[in-house]
Structure 1
Amino acid sequence: MTALTAAPANQLAVANPWSMVPPLGNLDAYISAANRLPMLSAEDEQKFARRLRDNNDLEAAGALILSHLRLVVSISRQYLGYGLPHGDLIQEGNVGLMKAVRRFDPDQGVRLVSYAMHWIKAEIHEYILKNWRMVKVATTKAQRKLFFNLRSLKQGFKADAAAQDASASHRDTLSESEVDRMASQLNVKREEVLEMETRLSGGDVVLDPGPADDGDEGFGPIAYLADAGMEPTAQLESRERDRLSSDGISTALDALDERSRRIVEERWLKVNDDGSGGMTLHELAAVYGVSAERIRQIEVAAMKKMRKSLAEYA
């Protein structure tokens, strides 16, 4: 493959612009190579940009991209504090750079470096928001602005507070005045500052942690957040109970003779005004002029007949 030359020093040959990119897996070598690539002059940049726009010249696009790889490396370093791999940040920034090169208009009177910065940062921002945590912490424009500015402003507030009071530097939460200042500086609502502060100070919680190291089932929010009543089997059982307690009971009572039905209703289906139960065996025995034991026998036989009717109904 033809190697990329750098003569003159301020111009990129475009026969094979990617030949100077080192093999995958060596980030330090990539950064070193990107920083060694010469920058394009304004005239060469205009020439390559027009070739890309007018002729869809991919070699010209490669020259524009290669000359700005160092810009992506520089911008990506600003986002190392989010705990994401530097190589991934550079990769996403390169995607933004390629989008910028594709959309760059050389007749607008600006250098590609100024135009590309927006696209590079936008792509890195999107990657961070999607991968910083399992749950996305910023969705609206105001939340995105807070996410990328709250920590830096908070550090500035702590430095100012520490200059006045040494104990204030150990305070992690924002004071009321700091919340108001931050909302004013970022042009967002005070409530949005408090909401983002809460999100950033918290962490992800695994709903279902799975088995613990000792083999026991892990305990997580899934254990108490799940609504057992909405489980399909539970819903079917509930509907069946409701059906049996209404239509099923009525059908079973219709199968009884008048005396057996009254005994069951008075004993189990009626409630007095004071909340107490129905008639006792002795009270029913006095009504029918028989012994309490006879009333009990009739009740047992009626219940047996009702259970058979309910089984048939179900």
Structure 2
Amino acid sequence: MTNSMTLPAISSFDSLDQYLRAIKSFPVLSAEEELKLATRLKKYNDLEAAKTLVVSHLRLVASIARNYAGYGLPQADLIQEGNIGLMKAVRRFDPDRGVRLVSFAMHWIKAEIHEYIVRNWRLVKVATTKAQRKLFFNLRSMKKGQTASLHSDEVAHIARELNVKPEEVLEMEARMSGHEISLEGNADDDNEDMFSPISYLQASHAEPSEILEAQEADQLHTTGLSTALAKLDDRSRRIVEARWLQEGHNATLHDLAEEFGVSAERIRQIEQKAMKQMRGFLTLA
């Protein structure tokens, strides 16, 4: 897609301000217009439809990129990386899921910007594991403008939420206020998941996965729920009920990991499989 369409490149403008003014001229699409364009792209690989979807969201990329100015990297580069994420999002966008592109695209825009930061920011050494990269971005966001060290309760809470050890939280905090060292990971490691930007995104409350999960939760409360639940094995049923159907506070992956004596990642895998099975049951109902 990127090789076959011409998009407004920042380098073609005299200044970043001129680029920002230019992208504001592109109209915002209505839900109906977006659906038609996305459907044309999905069914007919219509690159003009893809281009319209991309340019109408360029201002979103610029807005997101501004939130990463504190890393000391050129704003134009952050925007350019975010634009790459936007184009990936447009290519992967499924109009049949009932989610607006703006919500889905945020995921990919942030992912590309995060990856760019990890490749280029050299003030902090970040390990190559998913948990530690997620820890890096969450800690830096939390401590923005804050010089005081974390309290023990804060350390314990972050460790639980991110599924890391308290010592790792303390070590990362120390690195963030320490001397300049390399940020690069192990370039020889060919484990794609370990370097996947999706695995270390910031707070996910506005991410497409969160939106889709909320929609799935609503569906589970409709006709056929009891039947679908009854078809699950005991452990899967317990996990779905604890995660989605409890009144008040729903259980976290960490809570259920402790209950069943497995990792939080294993609970997530069981939950995803169970939700897929239930969607199939509900469709057949």
Q: Pick the TM interval, shorter chain.
A: 0.5 to 0.7
Partner of 2:64 in structure 1?
Answer: 75
Distance across 2 between alignment mates of 1:135 and 1:154: 14
Partners of 2:165 and 2:119 lie apart in 1 by 24
In the alignment, which residue of structure 2 is the partner of 1:45?
34
Q: Is the 8 A contact 2:65 2:79 kept in 1?
A: yes
CA distance in 2, matches of 1:101, 1:49: 8
Q: Tell me how far 1:201 sits from its aligned partner.
A: 1.7
Q: Find the counterpart in structure 2 of residue 193 from structure 1.
A: 169
Is 2:19 the partner of 1:35? Answer: no
Instruction: Find the residue that maps to 1:36 and give its secondary structure.
Output: coil
Q: 1:90-239 maps to which residues of 2 (within 5 A)?
A: 90-133=79-122, 136-154=125-143, 172-204=148-180
Q: Distance in 1 between the 2:108 and 2:138 partners?
A: 18
Cα deviation, 1:30-74, whole Å, max 9, x if unaligned, reads 111112311111111111111111211111111000000011011
**TM-score, normalising length: structure 2:** 0.56
CA contact (8 A) 1:37 1:67 kept: yes
**For the aligned residues, what is the CA RMSD?**
2.6
Question: Structure 1 residue runs of 4+, over 6 Å off?
Answer: 19-22
SS at match of 2:24: helix
| C-alpha distance in 1 between matches for 2:131 and 2:85 | 22
Query: Which amino acid counterpart does residue 133 of structure 2 have in structure 1?
Result: R
- 2:12 aligns with 23
> Structure 1 residues 87 and 204 mapped into 2: Cα distance closer, same or farther (>3 Å)?
same
Tell me the number of residue pairs that the alignment of Structure 1 and Structure 2 aligns: 178
Find the structure with the greater CA-based Rg: 1
Does the CA contact (< 8 Å) of 1:17 and 1:66 recur in 2?
no
Residues in 1 aligned to 2:46 and 2:113: alpha-carbon distance in whole angstroms = 27
- How many Å apart are 1:186 and its aligned residue? 3.8
Cα distance in 2 for residues equivalent to 1:113 and 1:80 = 21
Quick one: distance in 2 between partners of 1:60 and 1:127? 28
Larger relative contact order (CA 8 Å, sep ≥ 6): 2
CA distance in 1 between partners of 2:29 and 2:102 (Å): 11
TM-score (norm 1): 0.51
Provide closer, same or farther for how the CA distance between residues 152 and 135 of structure 1 changes in structure 2, counting only shifts above 3 A: closer
Q: Mark the CA change 1:172 to 1:113 in structure 2 (over 3 Å): closer, same or farther.
A: same
Q: Name which of 46, 66, 73 aligns with 1:84.
A: 73
Unmatched 5+ stretches in structure 1: 1-15, 159-170, 207-314
Residues 18 and 145 (structure 1), Cα distance of their counterparts in 2 relative to 1, 3 Å cut: closer
- Residues 254-273 of structure 1 aligned to structure 2 (within 5 Å): none
* Correspondence for 1:58: 47
Sort the Cα spacing of 1:136 and 1:25 in 2 relative to 1 into closer, same or farther, 3 A: farther
1:138–1:147 contact (8 Å) kept in structure 2: no
Tell me: CA distance 1:186–1:153, structure 2 relative to 1, closer, same or farther (3 Å): farther
Instruction: Give the secondary structure class of the aligned counterpart of 2:160.
Output: helix
One-letter amino acid of the structure 2 residue matched with residue 124 of structure 1: I
Within 5 Å, give how 1:268-279 maps onto structure 2.
none
Name the CA distance, whole Å, in 1 between partners of 2:86 and 2:9.
18
